[in-house]
Amino acid sequence: MSTVDERQEAARLLAGLENGGMSPADAAIIAESIDPSLLYVIVSFLRAVYPASDPAATPVLERVVRLTSGHPAVIAKHREGEQDPVSHWFEDEYEYRDFRGRGSVLIELIVDKIET
């Protein structure tokens, strides 16, 4: 997958999980196709900006749980992404909440780091 395609697919996944505009099957297909660190950061971002204590977060978190618990390949990729140096770098340097409403910037940052 080219970098441009991966950015687009990651943005689609983030938007689909956040807004519900994507079927669980489509979300799983995209999750399986993107870099593990991108998947991990997207899931972690959504968990951070939509805390369970916020009732409005329920649909977002339900979609995230459905994705990360119902597909063995996605689960494995998510775990791989958790261990990836890019994920560690991001979590050392940034706060997920700082990217609320700026998901495309988050994705650009991660893809640029993966490329270096």
- pLDDT at position 1 over 90: no
- Percent of the chain whose predicted confidence (pLDDT) is above 90: 84
pLDDT of 2 higher than 90: no
The residue to which tokens 């700082």 are assigned = 98
What residue segments make up the domains of the chain, in order of their start? 3-115
pLDDT given for residue 55 in this prediction: 86
Residue whose entry in the numeric block shows the structure tokens 């972690």: 44
16 token code pair: 């689909």
Q: What are 58-71's pLDDT values in tens digits?
A: 999 999 999 988 89
As given in the structure block, the two tokens for residue 92 are: 């050392």
Tell which phi-psi region holds residue 88, choosing left (phi > 0), alpha (psi between -120 and 50) or beta. Answer: alpha
* Residue of higher predicted confidence among 56 and 98: 98
Closest CA to 64 of 96, 28, 116: 28
